[in-house]
């Protein structure tokens, strides 16, 4: 049964990713990309990595995609916006991602209902990951913080508006 | 299932690479890079799950950090590019003759 669930989630991921790279409209592509990340999160859960599945949903499908949506909003010109909203609210825009997300929802509901945390592979929970992260990988955590600080400063510097004189 | 997950990671990485090569809009280029990083993380987690060790998941956390830093700087560059050139076409930025 786990194999069937895995195959369905993998098919959803591949279809959604295909739609991302063939889509013409950026917001449609973003919707499909979110569905693709959610499908990969289901695959993580089936692989016995529930912590990583939660991180994928929260950070990838949540935070990083919200960044993309914010940038799309900031790039929008004011005059075309109303016309664009009208075109975005047609049915064809949200049916595809909704159908794919509904497949994933059915899958997760099945997993919760039958209380099967994973298949043949054993579950490696957040406790083990945290112990490894702050034990042997402590120096890499420090390097990650060293990476994030220039990220913050760089994003601030690039996004700063020069005062017009 | 680990083999299947590795195959899925390969397919997703190839799709991201195709998107990176085919699309010329900078937003799609950034999204393709996200897809490829996610596929690399999936390969790490699958490999870690195959041995039942947490190391693959630790590497995924680092990939997540890298993706967050990369996308924040990248989107800042997108805003700057749109402000200066009024286009999303990366072929428009060819003054360096690269």
A123: DSSP letter: P
Confidence of residue A87 (pLDDT cuts 50, 70, 90): low
Residue of A6, A8, A13 to mutate, testing the B interface (most B Cβ within 10 Å of its Cβ): A13
Each residue's pLDDT, cut to its tens digit, for chain B (98 residues) gives: 888 999 999 999 999 999 999 988 888 999 999 999 999 999 999 999 888 889 999 999 999 999 999 999 999 888 888 888 877 788 888 777 65
A61: DSSP letter: I
A122 touching B (Cβ < 8 Å): yes
A73 touching B (Cβ < 8 Å): no
- What pTM did the predictor assign? 0.87
Q: Do A59 and B11 touch (CB under 8 A)?
A: no
Question: Cβ contacts (< 8 Å) between A132 and chain B: which residues?
Answer: 54-55, 57-58
Confidence of residue A82 (pLDDT cuts 50, 70, 90): low
What's the pLDDT tens digit per position in A100-159?
A: 888 889 888 888 887 665 555 578 888 888 999 998 999 999 999 999 999 999 988 888
A4 touching B (Cβ < 8 Å): no
Q: Do B31 and A33 touch (CB under 8 A)?
A: yes
Q: Can you give the pLDDT at residue B91?
A: 82
Report the length, in residues, of chain A. Answer: 165
Q: Can you give the pLDDT at residue B40?
A: 95
What secondary structure does DSSP assign to chain B, as a single string? Answer: -HHHHHHHHHHHHHHHHHHHHH--BHHHHHHHHHHHHHHHHHHHHHHHHHHT-THHHHHHHHHHHHHHHHHHHHHHHHHHHHHHHS--BGGG--TT--
CB neighbour list of residue A5: distance below 8 Å, 6 or more residues apart: A42, A46, A107, A110, A111
Interface subset of A 39-58, CB within 8 angstroms of B: 40, 43-44, 46-49, 51-52, 55-56
């Amino acid at each position: 049964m786990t194999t069937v669930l895995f195959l369905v989630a993998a098919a959803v991921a591949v279809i959604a990713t295909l739609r991302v790279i063939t889509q013409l409209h950026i917001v449609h592509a973003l919707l499909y990309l979110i569905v693709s990340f959610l499908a990969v999160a289901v695959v993580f859960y089936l692989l016995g990595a529930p912590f990583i599945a939660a991180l994928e949903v929260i950070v990838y499908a949540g935070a990083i995609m919200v960044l993309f949506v914010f940038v799309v909003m900031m790039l929008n010109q004011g005059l075309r916006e109303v016309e664009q909203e009208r075109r975005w609210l047609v049915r064809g825009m949200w049916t595809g991602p909704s159908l794919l997300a509904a497949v994933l929802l059915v899958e997760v509901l099945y997993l919760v209902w039958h209380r099967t945390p994973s298949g043949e592979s054993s579950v490696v929970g957040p406790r083990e990951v945290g112990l490894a992260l702050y034990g042997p990988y402590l120096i890499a955590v420090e390097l990650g913080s060293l990476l994030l600080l220039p990220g913050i400063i760089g994003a601030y510097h690039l996004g700063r508006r020069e005062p017009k004189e | 299932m680990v083999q299947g997950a590795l195959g899925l990671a390969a397919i997703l990485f190839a799709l991201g690479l195709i998107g990176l090569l085919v699309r010329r809009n900078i937003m799609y280029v950034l999204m393709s890079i996200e897809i490829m990083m996610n596929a690399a993380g999936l390969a790490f987690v699958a490999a870690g799950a195959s041995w039942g060790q947490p190391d693959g998941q630790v590497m995924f956390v680092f990939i997540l950090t890298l993706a967050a830093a990369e996308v924040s700087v990248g989107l800042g560059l997108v805003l700057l590019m749109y402000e200066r050139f009024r286009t999303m076409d990366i072929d428009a930025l060819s003054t360096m003759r690269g």
